[in-house]
Structure 1
Amino acid sequence: MRSERERALVRIVVLGKVGVERAGTLTLPASGIARALLGALALAGVAGLSGLGDDTLKALLWGARDSVISDSTLAVAVYRLRRWLTEHADGTAEIVRTTNGYALRLNDGAEVDAAVFGTIVAEAHDLPAGQRAPALERALELWRGRALEDVSPDSLDQSAVDRLERRRIEAAMEHARAVLAEGAPERALPHLNPLVRAHPLDEQLLSVWIEVLASCGRQAEALAAFEKARVRLLDQLGVDPGPELRDVHIRVLRQETGAAEPPETEHVRREHPSQLPAAVPDFTGRDDQVDGILALLAAGDGNEPVSVSAVAGMGGIGKTALAVHIAHRIRADFPDGQLFVDLRGAERDPADPVEVLGRFLRALGVNAAAVPEGAAERVALYRSVLADRRILVVLDNAADEGQVEPLLPAGRMSRAVITSRTRLTALPGVRLVELDVLAPGQSTGLLTRIIGRDRTAAEPEATATLARMCGHLPLALRVAGARLAAKSHWRISGFVRRLREQGRLDELTQRGLSVRTTLDLSYRALGPEARRLYRLLGLLDAPDFPCWAAAALLGRPDAEAADLLETLVDAQLLDAAEHALDLPDPGTSGCVRYRFHDLVRDHARELCLAEDDQSERRAALRRALGGWLTLIDHVLHMVTGGGDALDAGEAARYPLDEAVLHLALTHPAEWMECERLAVTAAVRQAARLGDDELSWEIAVHSSMLFQPRHYVDAWQEVIAAALPAVRAAGNRRGEAALSERATELACARRDYDRALLDVRDALRLFEETEDPHGMALALRQLAVVHRMTGRFAEAERDGERARRLLARVGDTAGEAHAVLVIGCAQYERGDALDAVGVLMTARELAREARYTGVEVQAAYWIGQSLLALRRLDEARSLFEYVGEAAAAAGSRIAGMYVAHGLGCIHLATGRPDEAERLLRDALGLAEERGDRLMRARILYVLGALHRDRGDLLTARRLLERALALATEVSVPLWRAKCLFLLGDLLRRLDDAGSAELRREALEIFTAMGLPTAPGSPTHLLW
């Protein structure tokens, strides 16, 4: 047991994971740089060095990159470690500046475990024989793994680590010789075994180990160990065993090693403990995990090391249920007993493995008086007792590897199953199994088994909703099922209503089972900064979020937020995954997305509302939402060339790291795909926050990025969320901007009646606020509406007014867009030749403004105009250019227009099969997008193709579909064209309705001011 003085000490730990131990609790720096820096400075002090120079530290911490690492970068790393030490070492250890570097200074009450180890070993040499072994055991117990085991090998002074490891080996061998002399060889094995695994070619170490094995009565293992060592030395070094190893081999063969008395003396009865909790009768799902763990535990033939399965997952995910279910499945395979313990790893007072060893030893039949006091002695006796037994050990709710390792059986016939909220990957031979929530069908199946098939069959939809509201979390499902089972008169739909109205965490509790309590355990185990981030993250409505959003919530640098996020991931309170998009550098923080389980988010938000005051919550949210606006601004500026958008309002932007901005700017389409749901949530949150400026700016600017990929639902959502906020605040400019974007949305949905109402609202509001730029953008939208509804003269007039205003305010990108609208109107009223010139002007302006989207659109419509003029080679070149640009941008929408244009070229040049293939591709894309007008245009050309083939019935069916779609979207030009071509087709079929269709088509052409003489207009086919 540790003395009071030892408990009061602050110990810098390097013999294992690097950290600070205080009052028996080990705390680890979250950052790998901090761990490497602390370890390097601690080892330098142990070696008697006055410190390490700046260049040495940079080379250690950043390896070959030290030439580009600035002094300020090192200074920042030192500053962060100093701050961490202040919090966790209470001023007893600090980083100080030396002449040309840094050193770790220890004040009263602080020590480094490596220095303590060296002191104890040195003093042990002078002790009497009977006192030497206990002293060396104290020294060896300081080792919790490899020295600096959680520091990257690239950041280690390997020679210093090797010297320390050699001293450990020598101490372990000296300890082994001491306990051999005392007749207690089993006490040496816990210290020798990990060293032999790490140094399988060290003949001196192997010799001592083999002698200890034989002295423990494990002669067969000792001989097998020698043979394995002989083969390894021959295979890897090409040498035979040396004299020391050969000598011990001979002594084992002659049984001259003084084997100890076997464990089964009068102090050890052979008990068969059966400590498993009751089986889980309603265990559901997890088939793959069960099969995998069973296969692992069944592997081996008694000659392989013990198999260990570690089940990891968040609280309430069903780890214990899975472990107990598996243990009962295979308990017959372990006739010598099954041990079980709840290690309380998530609680404030986790179980002491030394105390657990005492319980296990007594359960295995060791007389209470014979259970040793010391940890090492207990471990040795435990492993000796289990050496030839077939035991299953279930270690539930483990805190970390240090708590688990002493409890693992060493016998090759035993097996272990561990559960933990952390990923125990450092245990030798462990197989990690991570649990996620249940599948929907498994969730409803579990509810059915708890509350009965009759009730769930009577309300299947309510059962599915209940499973969804429980987040498919097994604990939540069990609590919900238990409450319903206890209330047989409750309807499932009624309980669902209670969850919605009363709050899920309040309702999901029943007789000791509580989702909130389970999550509280994980939360309380966090440090103060991780707890604060957890609470603030609960405020975000975004379904997932990147690292920079966490940094913005905290108001801290990205690197600090990244460390804290990984702490939450390790605690199973957050899930992290690289998004599925194909980006060249998925390791950057911008590519990692973090996500809460729904109930965990509820818990975090509940804590935030309780512990953080309103002003802090609002400030944190505004920072994060301002970060999304900053990103949108930058991406929009790149996509539109910095124009064709309303000037910024008064919303506060939050500055973001250049690397984050670079990622978004390099992959704007992929970035928008990742952020779409987060952005829509940001608009809703800004509106609820009462920040009308923030809500309309995010809505307006993001909608311009939704447009190219036709995210019309998200587009509609952001406008609908922001409009009430700006109207409630009397924000006329924000309302005008949203009305202008609503116009564009209505046009994208081919709802031109709605578009006309919205654009008139936008014009009126921009005029009231005296905003010429906004008026110009609204006029351009009005020109689009006129064009699509067949009022070509008005389209050209308003497009020209918009162009002049945009030129006056210096918006070249917006001017290019206005000229594009004018050119399209000219083309559609039949003046293809003039349209070419206007559209080329639009293309030049777009290139000047670097507005790729309008430049590509202009190229497409120039191609359409040239097609109408029968300049087919020129048109083909332009469509191919548009196709290349679309492929580079990853745009499937542009691909639809390209396939349509090239299909028309093939049809015009007498290649109908190639034309049909391309047109069918275009039709599929139009149907996928839900674009009724484009479907009408494509069906129109397909109808002409089948008419020319003589397949008049197919042509009629296609043209009737095209006419129905053109009528639905109220685009008179295409309605008239479909009527005219269908009328011509019916005339060939001697259908009496032919003349009426042609007459109606000519009336529409006349109303639009288009020529109606025979053969006109020349663009009728295209």
Structure 2
Amino acid sequence: MSGNAGTTGEPDPEHAADLVEFIELLDQLRMWAGSPSTRALAKRVGPLLRPPRTISHSTVAEVFQTSRRRLDLDLVAGIVRALGADDATVARWRTAYLRVLRDTKAADFGGVLRQLPVDLPTFIGREKELAALMDAATEGSRTLVISAIEGMAGIGKTQLALHAAHRLVRAGRYADLQLYANLRGFDPYHEPSDPAAILDVFLRQLQVPAARVPAGLDERAAMFRDRIHGRQALLLLDNAADDNQLRPLLPASSSCLVLITSRRTLASLEGARTVALDVLDPSESIEMLSRIVGPERVAAEPRAAARIAELCGGLPLAVSLAAARLRSRPVWTLRYLADRLATTLDQMTTGGRGLSQVFDLSYQGLPTAAQRVFRLLGIHPAGDFTASSITALTGMDLGEAERILELLQDEKLIQQKVLNRFELHDLLRAYAAERAAAEISEQERSEAIAAVLNWYVATASAAVQLANRQPPLPFPTGDVRGESVRFVDAKQALAWYDLERPNLLRAFSAAAAFGHDRTAVNLALAMKPFEDIARSWRESERLLRAALPHARRWAAPDVEATVLQQLGFTLFQDNRFEQALDPLEEALALSRENGDLLNEHLALNVKALAYTGFGDHRQGLEIALQALALREHDEVRQTPRTTGVYNTVATCLHGLGRPAEAVAHIITGTAEAQAQNDWLMVAVAKHNLGFTYLVLERFADAITAFEESVPLSHDLGFLYLHADDLNGIARALHAQGRVSEAEESHRKALAVLDDLPEAALAHYLSRLDESPLRYPPPPADEPGERNGPLTR
């Protein structure tokens, strides 16, 4: 590389406006230099550092993660040098990074949502089509600009859309936000993405708390149009099935641009301008080959290069795959590759020209272990996958899985749009499925699918135990094959769920399709607490209603009763109190018929809460006392979280205006939770005791109770309870006339949430605003001042 970046086509760090773009350009530099794996790059970088040291491949991989807020400058310089840069180029990358760090302060992205996958440096040609897209986006239309890129599979629609999008953003257009969604319109084994689910994701990214995301498609679409109106926004809707899937996702504001890719014509989409893609011309195919393989090798064999371009049919996907084979095999001549391609006569049924030869060549050239992984990917139920999930699918260890995934990426057989997450192009997924059908026995197929589904259940269960302090699933999964995912804290567990949620839903569908009833139920029960954390009650309801027929087919009454009482609880949380009674009555009938005291207790507890919800506190108390009586039995008393019934009794007593009696029940519940070492319930009980003392105007006792809850909620990472405790202290101090101390405690409450992303912050603040402990205090005559609800 020369010191004058841009003259030879390599990425120029001076174009980076912020850290995200700097990291994207660094990733482009890596691809430009031949896409060395992070493992190979780590081996090159270590000796170049001063002093030399050993660098792990995971450390190198983290440098390319766009969520980073700061990079190690020496490591960046070492990576640039390891990619072949000279001293002048390394200096330019250093200077650019320091400028970006200074200008953006590295930690503030200004609320901009940047979701575009990377713009590949191998993009070439398409000048006419690119000009049409740019003209449409910059001509100053008074209506929404929609550009639809159409063409066959593998023709390069997505890369054209991404290249245009990145060019527009670099030019300062659509700088407020860029949203991306793969609509998976042509996945051969799954239905296209539900626009309601896509809108759910978009709205959460636009800082709408999950509990406020409407249930219906039309309502979500209306809210999305409202939230995005007037903003300089770019939407890239990739791989659309048809205009019906697209219409709910379209904004209405002329300040927005929508780029769409599809294999089908979208002529019926009102106002859309169509850009039709054909195959690359021979010179463009040769240029792409040159960029990946190297201009010297192509220039040495121009006739063979032209023949390869012809055999690839002008499809960018085919050219890139063929070029990857050459790049990874420096002893091969271009003529040798061309001869190999020409002798492969089998034709795929996917409609791609020249793809069968290239796919076969790439697949047959893989080591045996990599071939097995690739064909198993053809039956993997997820849309994307990680090395950990591959260990479950294949039974291999993590190191081997990582090595093979890097090999498959080097061969262009899989792609990595998000760090450490891989996916298959639709055509390659279809090809992998063909190989699986031809080469995998029914027993191996069955074992692989069961193992990976079981892995999702176990990992989701482990995540939710940390994120929501939930006890283990009531119906164990048994032995789990594959590498366990270890979560450091609740934040990491929640982040995992956000990334894996679409895959968990696909896993649920796969479990249903293959008749794995136990897995389907366990997946729903493992996912539900995450939806509860987000207060996404309608999503919890959908999961549980979908799981119910599987629970019934399982033919285990306790399983069915568990799903029913969880459904009742979800409806109660969504303030649909009367609707909650039907599944709860079913759960009670099943439990009593089968002597299932635990589910009877749980259903009674929720039923009592439902009665308090529509104001019948007397009936609620009667039912809560029935649930409390069942704690005399060991199977109930020894089960985690059943001490919550004391809080239910106290809630009913509050509703009846009897807070003094509530105190005794809360204290008893606290003691029993302590005996079980259930510190979450202890924290909740202490919090509720503080609230009850506040209602009784025992302000010093309230402060003591809240102060005892604070360290517990802090250590547990229960942010809402921690903040609400501090607001409770503020309320008690304010009532004592200690206003300055009260204001300081309220500031501490808000500081608990300081490090949260804006969307999560908005969610927690809305919950605190609904709390009876909100601060400053409401007027004395406002309902809820004396007898608000306890924490459930």
Please tell me the TM-score bracket, short chain as reference: 0.5 to 0.7
Partners of 1:288 and 1:727 in 2: CA distance:
67
Partners of 1:691 and 1:849 in 2: CA distance:
34
Pairing 1:835–2:517 present: no
> RCO (CA 8 Å, sep 6+): is it higher in 1 or 2?
2
The secondary structure found in structure 2 opposite 1:883 is helix
Q: 755-764 or 776-785: which moved more? A: 755-764
Task: Give runs of aligned pairs for residues 124-203 of structure 1, distance below 5 A.
Answer: none
The secondary structure found in structure 1 opposite 2:366 is coil
Provide the residue aligned with 1:72 in structure 2: none
1:857 Cα deviation (Å)? 0.9
Provide the residue aligned with 1:144 in structure 2: none
Q: What is the root-mean-square deviation in Å for CA atoms of aligned residues?
A: 5.3
Partners of 1:897 and 1:789 in 2: CA distance:
25
Pairing 1:943–2:765 present: no
Provide the residue aligned with 2:456 in structure 1: 628
1:767-800 per-position Cα deviation (integer Å, ceiling 9, x unaligned): 4555332222212211222233333333333233
Q: 1:744 to 1:802 in 2, by over 3 A?
A: same
Q: 1:848 to 1:313 in 2, by over 3 A?
A: same
Provide the residue aligned with 2:543 in structure 1: 718
The secondary structure found in structure 2 opposite 1:616 is helix
Pairing 1:824–2:651 present: yes
1:938 Cα deviation (Å)? 5.5
The secondary structure found in structure 1 opposite 2:640 is helix
Pairing 1:565–2:393 present: no
Provide the residue aligned with 2:289 in structure 1: none
Partners of 1:654 and 1:788 in 2: CA distance:
41
Given that 1:919 and 1:942 are in contact with CA atoms closer than 8 Å, whether structure 2 keeps it comes out as no
Partners of 1:819 and 1:845 in 2: CA distance:
10
Provide the residue aligned with 1:406 in structure 2: none
Code of the aligned partner of 1:674: W
Q: 1:530 aligns with which of 370, 380, 383?
A: 370
Pairing 1:790–2:606 present: no
Pairing 1:808–2:657 present: no
Code of the aligned partner of 1:799: A
Partners of 2:629 and 2:510 in 1: CA distance:
38
The secondary structure found in structure 1 opposite 2:643 is helix
The secondary structure found in structure 2 opposite 1:595 is strand
Q: TM-score by structure 2 length?
A: 0.54
Q: 1:514 aligns with which of 315, 319, 325?
A: 315
1:547 Cα deviation (Å)? 3.0
Given that 2:654 and 2:662 are in contact with CA atoms closer than 8 Å, whether structure 1 keeps it comes out as yes
1:510-554 per-position Cα deviation (integer Å, ceiling 9, x unaligned): 472336534536555432212322333354454554433111100
1:693 Cα deviation (Å)? 1.3
1:745 Cα deviation (Å)? 2.2
Code of the aligned partner of 1:667: D
Q: 2:480 aligns with which of 629, 641, 654?
A: 654
Q: 2:568 aligns with which of 721, 730, 743?
A: 743
Q: TM-score by structure 1 length?
A: 0.43
Given that 1:573 and 1:596 are in contact with CA atoms closer than 8 Å, whether structure 2 keeps it comes out as no
Q: 765-774 or 868-877: which moved more? A: 765-774
Code of the aligned partner of 2:770: R
Partners of 2:7 and 2:776 in 1: CA distance:
53
Partners of 2:690 and 2:655 in 1: CA distance:
13
Given that 1:618 and 1:689 are in contact with CA atoms closer than 8 Å, whether structure 2 keeps it comes out as no
The secondary structure found in structure 1 opposite 2:474 is coil
Q: 1:776 to 1:1021 in 2, by over 3 A?
A: closer
Partners of 2:454 and 2:788 in 1: CA distance:
50
Pairing 1:799–2:624 present: yes
Given that 1:919 and 1:938 are in contact with CA atoms closer than 8 Å, whether structure 2 keeps it comes out as no
Partners of 1:748 and 1:436 in 2: CA distance:
38
Partners of 1:424 and 1:882 in 2: CA distance:
53
Given that 2:385 and 2:423 are in contact with CA atoms closer than 8 Å, whether structure 1 keeps it comes out as no
Given that 2:640 and 2:676 are in contact with CA atoms closer than 8 Å, whether structure 1 keeps it comes out as yes
1:674 Cα deviation (Å)? 0.7
Given that 2:157 and 2:277 are in contact with CA atoms closer than 8 Å, whether structure 1 keeps it comes out as no
Given that 2:653 and 2:659 are in contact with CA atoms closer than 8 Å, whether structure 1 keeps it comes out as yes
1:694 Cα deviation (Å)? 0.6
Partners of 1:640 and 1:310 in 2: CA distance:
36
Provide the residue aligned with 1:667 in structure 2: 489
Provide the residue aligned with 2:763 in structure 1: 928
Partners of 2:628 and 2:545 in 1: CA distance:
29
Q: 1:465 to 1:815 in 2, by over 3 A?
A: farther
Given that 2:569 and 2:606 are in contact with CA atoms closer than 8 Å, whether structure 1 keeps it comes out as yes
Code of the aligned partner of 1:474: Q
Q: 1:438 to 1:516 in 2, by over 3 A?
A: closer
Q: 802-811 or 615-624: which moved more? A: 802-811
Provide the residue aligned with 1:867 in structure 2: 694
The secondary structure found in structure 2 opposite 1:654 is coil
Q: 1:467 to 1:730 in 2, by over 3 A?
A: farther
The secondary structure found in structure 1 opposite 2:697 is coil
Unpaired segments ≥5 residues, structure 1 = 1-285, 297-308, 324-342, 346-421, 480-490, 502-506, 580-592, 948-958, 960-976, 982-1017
1:696 Cα deviation (Å)? 0.7
Provide the residue aligned with 2:587 in structure 1: 762
Identical-pair percentage: 18
Given that 1:639 and 1:852 are in contact with CA atoms closer than 8 Å, whether structure 2 keeps it comes out as no
1:859 Cα deviation (Å)? 0.9
Partners of 1:447 and 1:914 in 2: CA distance:
65
Given that 1:819 and 1:838 are in contact with CA atoms closer than 8 Å, whether structure 2 keeps it comes out as yes
1:928 Cα deviation (Å)? 1.9
Q: 1:537 to 1:741 in 2, by over 3 A?
A: farther
The secondary structure found in structure 1 opposite 2:615 is coil
Provide the residue aligned with 1:449 in structure 2: 131
Provide the residue aligned with 2:304 in structure 1: none
Provide the residue aligned with 1:463 in structure 2: 148
1:846-901 per-position Cα deviation (integer Å, ceiling 9, x unaligned): 22223232221111101111222333223223323333333333333223422431
The secondary structure found in structure 1 opposite 2:421 is strand
Provide the residue aligned with 2:724 in structure 1: 897
Provide the residue aligned with 1:556 in structure 2: 396
Partners of 1:916 and 1:548 in 2: CA distance:
47
Q: 1:493 to 1:701 in 2, by over 3 A?
A: closer
Partners of 1:295 and 1:930 in 2: CA distance:
40
Provide the residue aligned with 1:856 in structure 2: 683
- Which structure has the larger Rg over C-alpha atoms? 1
Q: 2:526 aligns with which of 678, 695, 701?
A: 701
Unpaired segments ≥5 residues, structure 2 = 16-25, 37-78, 94-115, 165-240, 245-259, 267-275, 281-312, 322-358, 754-758
1:15-60 per-position Cα deviation (integer Å, ceiling 9, x unaligned): xxxxxxxxxxxxxxxxxxxxxxxxxxxxxxxxxxxxxxxxxxxxxx
Provide the residue aligned with 1:353 in structure 2: none
The secondary structure found in structure 2 opposite 1:513 is coil
Given that 1:626 and 1:654 are in contact with CA atoms closer than 8 Å, whether structure 2 keeps it comes out as yes
Partners of 2:548 and 2:417 in 1: CA distance:
34
1:703-759 per-position Cα deviation (integer Å, ceiling 9, x unaligned): 235534545465345335434544677776544322222222223333323333332
**Number of matched residues?**
519
Partners of 1:858 and 1:467 in 2: CA distance:
61
